[in-house]
Chain A
């Protein structure tokens, strides 16, 4: 056919030789097969990998960010906790100090009271002792005085009389002065 069309004087470029259609068709189908079977799958596999890697990268970054945020939250929480604890310790210390102060005060007051009580007791004891001593002495003195008085009366009747007289005179003088 080709040979015939070549030999033919009039070559018509718009009328295709059938062999060319067939050869072109088969050649294209072979190429299509290669591309369909190998080239496209290879490219698409690589594209899928690339997409997965990019998405994986984004995911990783997001995870890291979430992690950082969580750490920050945790840190903040811990900080708040520590602050609260510090405040509590301060309050406790103040309460304790007040308690100790009150205790000391009470103790001091009690001790003072005890000392006063002890003093009073000692005083009482001394007074009693003194009173007792004085009583004994007064007795002794009375006896002595009585002895003396009795002795004197026994030895001097006249002096007794004088004495009475003098006493009466004094009494008169005192009445006269009044």
Chain B
């Protein structure tokens, strides 16, 4: 059993691991990454759409597929073919912005999902999505009509509204924007923590362990690789869900009460 004793005690990664030191001044790594994502996405999209032709090339087809996810699969499906066109730029931007910032988590060197800092997710949900869907709804139905639509969904017997209206208010005006941000934040936070744990533990075992323990590090490092693949999937899905729910909130705000 003596072989299992490590020379140095292992300190697992914690929330503190996300508290990155500023690179210069008050600028931290996620801030650089988030600005970088804007630059990367803008440059890619502007280049890819420079000369769009009716019969797409391979590169155009890739960009088109990406755009179509935001346009057709998300915006049109959730908002409805009547109003969706106005929101396509927003939904597509949300999707690709969150996607790139999530994928950062598995790109070597960058290796940090920006959305694991809740501030960025909150910026999108509270400052962008939340005002957008309320504004769209109020513009369409007027303040009174919109509130009536949202807080008094038809079909319930009268007295139920005493309970239902506050719940609807709580859901649509407080919970939705927060859960939207927390969902992607938590997934990225946990995913990154998991990768760090596997990678750090593997490294630690390899460097500090002896004999059998050194060999066991292979499992830990292999686990890190597997979790990385899993994260790639989760990062994509979370970006998709973020845009999907945003579109869904807009669709709900614009839906006619029947």
Interface residue ranges, A against B (CB under 8 Å): 1-3, 5-6, 11-25, 27-32, 34-36, 38-40, 42-46, 49-50, 53
Contacts and interface: CB of A to CB of B under 8 A. Distances in A.
Contacts of B53: 46
A53 B59 CA distance: 21
Interface string B179-217: 000000000010000000000000000000000000000
A21 B127 contact: yes
A63 B88 CA distance: 36
A35 B42 CA distance: 7
Would you list the 7 A-B pairs with minimal beta carbon distance, nearest first?
A20-B119, A16-B119, A24-B123, A24-B120, A11-B19, A46-B52, A36-B89
B31 A23 contact: yes
Given A21-B127, A38-B49, A40-B92, 20 more contacts: A11-B18, A12-B15, A13-B117, A17-B117, A17-B119, A21-B119, A21-B120, A21-B123, A24-B119, A24-B120, A25-B128, A28-B124, A31-B97, A35-B89, A38-B46, A39-B45, A40-B89, A42-B49, A42-B52, A43-B67
Interface string B85-129: 100111011101100000000000000001011111111100110
Interface stretch (B22-30, B136-144, B153-161, B233-241): B22-30
Contacts of B52: 42-43, 45-46
Interface of B: 15-16, 18-22, 26, 28, 30-31, 34-35, 37-38, 41-42, 45-46, 49, 52-54, 64, 67, 71, 85, 88-90, 92-94, 96-97, 114, 116-124, 127-128, 189
A46 B54 CA distance: 6
B1 to A, nearest CB: 35
- Candidate in B35, B41, B88, B119 with the most chain A CB atoms within 10 angstroms: B119
A34 B46 contact: yes
A25 B124 CA distance: 6
Nearest to A14: B118
A31 B93 contact: yes
A148 to B, nearest CB: 143
A50 B54 contact: yes
Contacts of B92: 35, 39-40
Nearest to A15: B118
Given A32-B93, A46-B52, A27 B38 contact: yes
A34 B120 CA distance: 19
A6 B119 contact: no
Contacts of B114: 24
